[in-house]
Amino acid sequence: MSINQGTASTVDAVIVGAGFSGLYLLHRLRGLGFSTRVFEAGGDVGGTWYWNRYPGCRCDVESLQYSYSFSEELQQERNWPERFSAQPDILKYANHVADRFDLRRDIQFETTVTRAHFDAARRRWSVETDTGENIAARFLIMATGCISTAQIPDFDGLSDFAGETYHTGNWPHEGVDFTGRRIAVIGTGSSGIQAIPVLATQAEHVTVFQRTPNYSLPCQNGPITDEYARSWKDNYAALREEQRHTAKGNIRELNNESALAVTQERRAEMYQKRWAIGGAGFLSSFNDLLVDRAANETAAEFVRTQIRSIVRHPATAELLVAKDYPIGTKRICIDSGYFETFNRDNVALVDVADTPIERITPGGLVVDGRSFEFDAIVFATGFDAMTGTLFKVDIQGRGGATLRDKWAAGPRTYLGLMTRDFPNLFMITGPGSPSVLSNMMVSIEQHVDWVTESLVHMRAENLELMEPTLKAEDDWVEHVNVVAHKTLFPLAASWYMGANIPGKPRIFMPYIGGVGTYRSICEAVVADGYRGFAFDAGAARVAAAE
Ligand code: NAP
Q: Is the CB of 191 under 6 A from ligand 1?
A: yes
Across 106-135, average pLDDT: 97
Cα-to-centroid distance, 403 and ligand 1 (Å): 26
User: Which atom of ligand 1 sits closest to the CA of residue 193?
Assistant: 25
Question: What global pTM score does this model have?
Answer: 0.96
Which of 2-6, 8-12, 105-109, 471-475 is least confident? 2-6
User: How would residue 6 be classed by pLDDT, with cut points 50, 70 and 90?
Assistant: very low
Cα-to-centroid distance, 188 and ligand 1 (Å): 6
Q: Is residue 470 packed enough to be buried (19+ CB in 10 Å), middle (13-18) or exposed (0-12)?
A: middle
CA distance 375 to 529: 61
- Which DSSP category does 169 fall into? G
Is pLDDT at 255 greater than 80 in this prediction?
yes
Across 24-50, average pLDDT: 98
Query: Above pLDDT 90, what percent of the chain?
Result: 97
First to last CA, the chain: 27
Is pLDDT at 541 greater than 70 in this prediction?
no
Q: Is the CA virtual torsion 118, 122, 124, 129 positive or negative? A: negative
Please give the pLDDT value at position 538: 78
Across 477-489, average pLDDT: 97
User: How would residue 284 be classed by pLDDT, with cut points 50, 70 and 90?
Assistant: very high
Contacts of 17 (CB under 8 A, 6+ apart): 38, 39, 40, 47, 142, 143, 144, 145, 148
CA distance 240 to 64: 10
Q: Is the CB of 60 under 6 A from ligand 1?
A: yes
Nearest alpha carbon, ligand 1 atom 15 = 381
DSSP states of 462-523? T--EEEE-HHHHHHHHHHHHHHHTTSSGGGS--GGGTTTSTT------S--S-HHHHHHHHH
Please give the pLDDT value at position 62: 96
User: How would residue 539 be classed by pLDDT, with cut points 50, 70 and 90?
Assistant: low
249, 443 contact by CB (below 8 A): yes
Cα-to-centroid distance, 41 and ligand 1 (Å): 23
Using DSSP bridges, classify how beta strands 124-129 and 134-142 pair: parallel, antiparallel or unpaired: antiparallel
Q: Of all helices (H) and strands (E), which one includes residue 10?
A: strand 10-16
According to DSSP, the residues that pair with 116 across neighbouring strands are: 127, 395
- Which DSSP category does 346 fall into? T
Q: Is the CB of 187 under 6 A from ligand 1?
A: yes
User: Which atom of ligand 1 sits closest to the CA of residue 379?
Assistant: 7
Q: What is the pLDDT of residues 136-145, one digit of tens each?
A: 999 999 999 9
User: Which atom of ligand 1 sits closest to the CA of residue 330?
Assistant: 32
Nearest alpha carbon, ligand 1 atom 37 = 190
Is pLDDT at 3 greater than 50 in this prediction?
no
Across 230-254, average pLDDT: 96
Cα-to-centroid distance, 49 and ligand 1 (Å): 16
CA distance 303 to 476: 36
Q: Is the CB of 189 under 6 A from ligand 1?
A: yes
